[in-house]
Amino acid sequence: MKFSLRKVMGATALASVMFSPVFVPVVLAQNATPQMSGEMRVVDNSVTVGNLELSGAFTRAMPPRAVTGGGFVTIVNNGDEDDRLVSVSSSVAEHTELHVMSIVDDVMRMRSEPDGFVIPAGETTQLKPGGKHIMFIDVQTPFAKGDDIKVTLHFEKAGDIELSLRALEIGAKGMMPMGADHSNMDASMQSGSD
């Protein structure tokens, strides 16, 4: 993967702005269309479809000319079988992907996860700053504070679950000390180039 100094510096600056230690619970689950049996219920900032409970969904406002952003949500699998978050889609960006960000030898690395994420039975999976997350690439209009960003999460067993991610202010506190939403990253740093 080739990185120009501008790309690396932009990603580093983005990480310093976007990572933070405090969880901001903003859930705006709007609709769900399960493909398995199970009743959907919305309870206190969460949506439950089948054995999956999703909560804490949010994104962040983006700088004026930014073309990429991140989305975050907590997924609890209350079932006895693993499920898989296969993909994600949204009309707000040219591409919407599942990504993982990590720090390896003091270097921030990001990669797409084309096979999605396993949601283990009886466990909690967090899509959060600094780890697994939704990546919006080539965003049509940068997210502004207060926007509700519609996404559809495509699960192997639970089916499609539609959420609305509330855009918090730039630099809003996230779910862990280090995180990123890639708002200033050049789209050429996206998946498949490493």
Residue 92, both tokens: 């707000």
pLDDT for the residue 173: 52
The first and second tokens of residue 83, run together, are: 């499920």
d(CA 65, CA 46): 32
CA 38 to CA 58: how far, in whole Å? 25
What single-letter amino acid sits at 56? Answer: G
Strands 159-168 vs 148-155: parallel, antiparallel or unpaired: antiparallel
Mean pLDDT for 68-74 is 95
More confident residue, 152 or 27: 152
Q: Which of 45-59, 70-84, 96-110, 178-192 has the highest mean pLDDT?
A: 70-84
- What the chain holds in terms of domains, given with CATH numbers, is 5-189 (2.60.40.1890)
The residues with which 73 forms a beta bridge, in sequence order, are: 127
| Helices then strands, each counted (H, E), the chain | 1, 13
Mean pLDDT of 120-127: 97
Calculate the alpha carbon distances from 75 to 46, 122, 124, 157 in Å. Answer: 10, 11, 6, 14
How large is the average pLDDT for residues 98-109? 92
Query: Is residue 1 pLDDT above 60, yes or no?
Result: no
Cβ(180)–Cβ(106) under 8 Å? Answer: no
* The pLDDT value given to residue 58: 93
For the whole model, what pTM was predicted? 0.68
Q: Which position has the higher pLDDT, 16 or 159?
A: 159
Q: Which runs of consecutive H residues, i.e. helices, occur in the chain?
A: 5-18
pLDDT tops 70 at residue 61: yes
**Residues in contact with 137: Cβ distance below 8 Å, sequence separation at least 6, in sequence order:** 67, 68, 93, 94, 95, 96, 97, 187, 190
Q: Annotate 85-120 with b (16+ C-beta within 10 A) or e (fewer).
A: bbbbbbebbebbbbbbbeeeeeebebebbeebbebe
User: What is the band of 45 on the pLDDT scale with cuts at 50, 70, 90?
Assistant: low
Q: What is the pLDDT of residues 133-189, one digit of tens each?
A: 999 999 999 999 999 999 999 999 999 999 999 999 887 754 332 334 444 343 333
> Which pLDDT belongs to residue 37?
37
Across the chain, mean pLDDT equals 75
